[in-house]
Structure 1
Amino acid sequence: MTQWLLQRLFEAKEQPKPTFAIQGTINWMRALSEIINSDEFSNEKISNVYNKVQRRPKNEKADTLAFENMLMAYHNLASLSSLDKEISHKYDVVRSAIVSWYYATYFAASAMVAASSGSKQETHSATAKVWHSDFAERGLLPYPFNLCLSTLVLKEVKTKIKDLRNGNSYDLSIYSSNVEEAKGACISYLNGTADYKKWEVEERVKASKDFKKLGVDNFRTKAAQILRDEALSKGQVNFLFQAFRYRGKANYRDSIFLSYGNSYEEKIGPFIHDLRDVTKAFIQMAAFYCKKRVVKEDWELFIKDLEENTRLSLPVNEIEI
């Protein structure tokens, strides 16, 4: 039988080819891992980004929220570490590994937001927007987590991507083996996410009352373009938005590609290890920032309490630098 289920999915909906979907999935994480394990991402560079961050006035509620979210990030990192070390057939857990990676990232970013403004958002998208204004736009993230766009207007995105590339021609078709290839792949994923977010915005604009009043079905007219670009100018892409898209592809939209068809077994094991490495780096960055913001003695109490009371096998010092 020739991939019966895949044919059913192609007939029922727009379905990316598994080989294409898994290539981008593996190669982006490989690129991120290549960078965070290089001199581009180091304890010194994290320290340099946050060296001017001041401890805020005591805010017990916000600090508690930061600690709670760091605990959840730590738990998901522990899950990834176990999946990396203890599972022999990695295909069985690859989708779960991506979900753990996403939630570790999300909770660590939520801890940063709590330590920054003390706010708690009701949706993941809202958290990503606050994280954008609190960190991405303020230069409070080390590379590569600082890669972002503050508009989705096509002309402006192209200019920004060109500036970021600075002559780098590598893209997501590359399984990175050095930092230059990795940088190109990361910029490529940023650009791809911008295209996806642009499409989302355009679909919302087409469904709006203002667009329907124009009596058109595309953006060829000046009036339609103005309406579209006004919405696109408010769009954003940052690491959290990319992570949300990444988790969505794995968990919902591209359902088949992680466990069906051609075998990429030689890359699935290293892929889960890359997920683990990138997660650890992101959490350590978040912990470093939170430690500088919350009451100093309370951070030390938090770490000591986890050391004494956690039931997780991952040493607590894994989340600190």
Structure 2
Amino acid sequence: MYYYATYNAARSILAAQEDFHGETHTSAIHAYNGLAAKLPHPFNMIATHVKGEEYQAILPSYPDAVKVDLTQKFSNDRVVAQGMLRAYLSGTADWNVGKIKERLKREGKVQDFRTKASQALRDSKLPLKFNYLNCIFRYRGKANYRDTIFLPYGKKHSWLNPGYLHGLYVMSSFAFICGVAFAEKRIGKKRVVAFIEDIAGNLRGRDSAMGLELFWEDLVSNYIRSS
């Protein structure tokens, strides 16, 4: 939910701003590099290649943020959250570099990276930047699918943290708004209103949904009233 909400929001912005038609996750991630600087925190965070395997990870809106160890206990405050974001961005750069190196080995192009020639080949394959979409793509593999396995298994009830649920609600709402803005630009507001009115009146499952699962109802109602 989290990954596809933000990924599709980014695709909507890219399509509206740059006439983007890429079909793959990789093409969207690459195109996002040119968009990141125009977006607010944390969507503008970026890791820029320095040399070799080294990347400089920064939060442009909070350049003084200090990386926080993600394996240790942490306090619940904004400064720590910024440090965790920077740490995850830096770790995402390292993770992607590792994947590229392993691919080169698997393809038989190098055995290691001790020689200048092998290092030059590695460097030629490294992206100039890693961005927010790289981070959430990595997160998708780490948690997006695992949660559905672990949450329904065993005798212990692992109820989701209300703060986490609210975060998903905010991100999904953001994706909805971006999608509507893109649709208005592409096909016109009249057709978008007709589509949303149809969805609002005919979508199944509303009777059994609870609380934040119906986040979109307020968005839809407000949109229709303002049209």
**Which fold has the larger relative contact order, with Cα–Cα distance below 8 Å and residues 6 or more apart in sequence?**
1
Change over 3 Å in CA distance of 1:278–1:140 after alignment to 2: same
Shift of 1:125: 1.7
Aligned to 2:9: 108
- Within the candidate set 170, 176, 187, 1:277 is matched to 170
Higher helix share: 1
Query: Following TM superposition, by how much is the alpha carbon of 1:188 offset from its aligned partner in structure 2, in angstroms?
Result: 1.3
Distance 1:276 1:176, change over 3 A: farther
Following superposition, the deviation at residue 224 of structure 1 comes to 1.5
Q: For 1:258-289, what per-residue CA distance to the aligned partner results, in whole angstroms no more than 9, with x for missing partners?
A: 556796836544323222223323554x3597
Q: Tell me the equivalent position of 1:190.
A: 89
Contact residue 105 and residue 279 of structure 1 kept, 8 A: yes
Instruction: Quote the offset at 1:309 in angstroms.
Output: 1.4
Q: How far has the Cα of 1:256 moved from its partner? A: 5.8
SS at match of 2:136: helix
Instruction: Write the distance in 1 (CA, Å) between the matches of 2:168 and 2:196.
Output: 24
Task: Show the counterpart of 1:96.
Answer: none
1:155-204 C-alpha deviation (Å, 9 max, x unpaired): 641x4459966252434345662221111111111112111111111112
Q: 1:125 aligns with which of 17, 23, 26?
A: 26
Q: What residue is the counterpart of 1:294 in the other structure?
A: 185
SS of the residue corresponding to residue 149 of structure 1 reads: strand
Aligned length, in residue pairs: 207
Distance 2:123 2:67 in 1: 28
Shift of 1:152: 7.8
If the length of structure 2 is used for normalisation, what is the TM-score?
A: 0.71
Secondary structure (helix, strand or coil) at the match of 2:38 reads: coil
Partner of 2:113: 219
Q: Which amino acid aligns with 1:185?
A: M
Find the aligned partners of 1:279 and 1:185 in 2 and give their Cα distance: 22
* Aligned position for 2:219: 317
| 1:105–1:283 CA contact under 8 A, matched in 2 | no
Q: Distance in 2 between matches of 1:283 and 1:140?
A: 19
CA contact (8 A) 2:5 2:171 kept: no
Partner of 2:136: 243
Change (3 A) 1:150 1:255: farther
Secondary structure, counterpart of 1:146 in structure 2: coil
Cα distance in 2 for partners of 1:191, 1:262 equals 37
Structure 1 segment 22-101 matched on structure 2, within 5 A? 100-101=1-2
CA distance in 1, matches of 2:19, 2:59: 36
Unmatched runs of 5 consecutive residues or more in structure 2: 204-213
Of residues 123, 129, 136, the one that matches 1:229 is 123
Residue among 68, 71, 77 paired with 1:170: 68
Which protein is richer in strand relative to its size? 2
Q: Which letter does structure 2 place at the counterpart of 1:317? A: L
Cα displacement (A) at 1:146: 0.8
Q: Which residue of 1 aligns with 2:45?
A: 147
> CA, structure 1 residues 283+186, in 2 after alignment: closer, same or farther (shift >3 Å)?
farther
TM-score, normalised to structure 1's length?
0.53
Q: Deviations over 1:89-133 (max 9, x none)?
A: xxxxxxxxxxx2222222222211221222322211222212223
Counterpart amino acid of residue 272 in structure 1:
L
Amino acid at match of 1:188: A
Q: Is the partner of 1:104 in helix, strand or coil?
A: helix
Displacement of 1:290 in angstroms is 3.8
